[in-house]
Structure 1
Amino acid sequence: MNRSSITGVILAGGRSSRMGEDKGLVEVKGQPLFEIIADRLSPQVGNILISCNQNADRYGKKFQTVPDLTQDFSGPLAGMLAALTVSQTEWMLFVPCDVPGFPINLAETFLSELAGRQALYARDPEREHPTLCLLNRNLIPALKSYLENGDRKLMIFFHNVGAKSVMFNHAADFSNLNYPQDVLRWQSESQ
């Protein structure tokens, strides 16, 4: 499978309440976070979508935007479902808008571990990172019924569908920028 058969999705659909503003639009070194993520994601995929529930005009200048099917900010699974339903490809690679240092070999590593799975997600030696994942469109019915039941927990859904965790050795690659001070720290460390 080559990169053109994978659609990349940047998850930017949350409320960003800890950051105080839309995380994907936070400026880092003069560039919004979502563009930094897109630059890193682009060599790994054929096309990029932005899952967002606000500021679609700003995100949509360069990318197709996809709002959640329900506007209740019900978490990453809602964004994943919305993106899967519009995807032109069988596979989608998801990354959140607040992890700018994610591995440049994310797609390649997932593909090497595929072995008949419909879902794979990242982990490092310290913890799991389920919002960095590769999902197949065949998961749409299972995901739809899971959300319709009122369930929201990503790891429970992944357990239900037999998702495989894939080890990445550098925990620093998965640093989340949740607060303004996280952005400042990441900027100074990535000089």
Structure 2
Amino acid sequence: MPATGTESGWTGVVLAGGQSRRMGRDKATLVWRGKTLLEHMCTRLQEAGATRIVVSGAVPEKGGVPDRVPGLGPLGGIASVAAVLDDGPLLVVPVDMPLIEPEWLARLAACQARCACYQGHMLPLWLQLDALSRRVLSDVLQHPPKDRSLKTLHAGQQGVFLPLPEQAATCLVNLNTPEQWQEVAS
């Protein structure tokens, strides 16, 4: 059985390399409750038990890992981070999901799966990084664009969908537009 985050520690990955086109500005720099979204998500991962945090994206002040191939979205960010990390468990979160509670992240980290996410949501994503997941990730990146997705990566890992508790449903919301940001930030 693969090691879970609760047995050996795990790495939190914040996806912060997007272009934020719909938001009109870099989402990672938006201020949420006195911190940037990037700082907030790093804190959330630490509160959930991450022993290390890695930022995916060209964020030099945080030691960010730029996308090796731009334009591949979250999958490209994960592939770029995987290229610089040793094997081990990862919990991947988007920078634009500030309502996520550490409890729901910790539940993913405690699962006994190679790859897992909550039903109806591809992020946050739990992933055991090893030779198999690296091979699947490399294969998925070769798929045609319509099949190059987190769903394909999840399926290739025989990923599981954890049931989403009712109280967590409102936590897994991405903020992609100024209107969504205003609705939550006010």
Q: Does 1:118 align with 2:110?
A: no
2:153 counterpart SS class: helix
User: Superposition RMSD on alpha carbons, in Å?
Assistant: 1.9
Runs of 4+ in structure 1 deviating by more than 3 angstroms, as ranges, are: 1-4
Identity of aligned residues (%): 27
The residue correspondences of 1:54-133 to structure 2 (distance < 5 A) are 56=58, 59-61=59-61, 63-71=62-70, 73-88=71-86, 90-114=88-112, 117-123=113-119, 128-133=120-125
| Per-residue deviation, residues 94-137 of structure 1 (Å, max 9, x unmatched) | 000100111312343124431xx3211123xxxx2112111111
Residue of structure 1 equivalent to 2:39: 35
CA distance in 2 between counterparts of 1:94 and 1:111 reads: 10
The answer to whether the 8 A contact 1:122-1:129 is kept is: yes
1:129 counterpart SS class: coil
2:11 counterpart SS class: strand
Q: Does 1:137 align with 2:137?
A: no
The normalised TM-score by structure 2 is 0.85
Gaps of 5+ in 2: none
CA distance in 2 between counterparts of 1:95 and 1:35 reads: 13
The answer to whether the 8 A contact 2:141-2:148 is kept is: yes
CA distance in 2 between counterparts of 1:4 and 1:101 reads: 27
CA distance in 1 between counterparts of 2:92 and 2:7 reads: 14
Gaps of 5+ in 1: none
The answer to whether the 8 A contact 2:6-2:109 is kept is: no
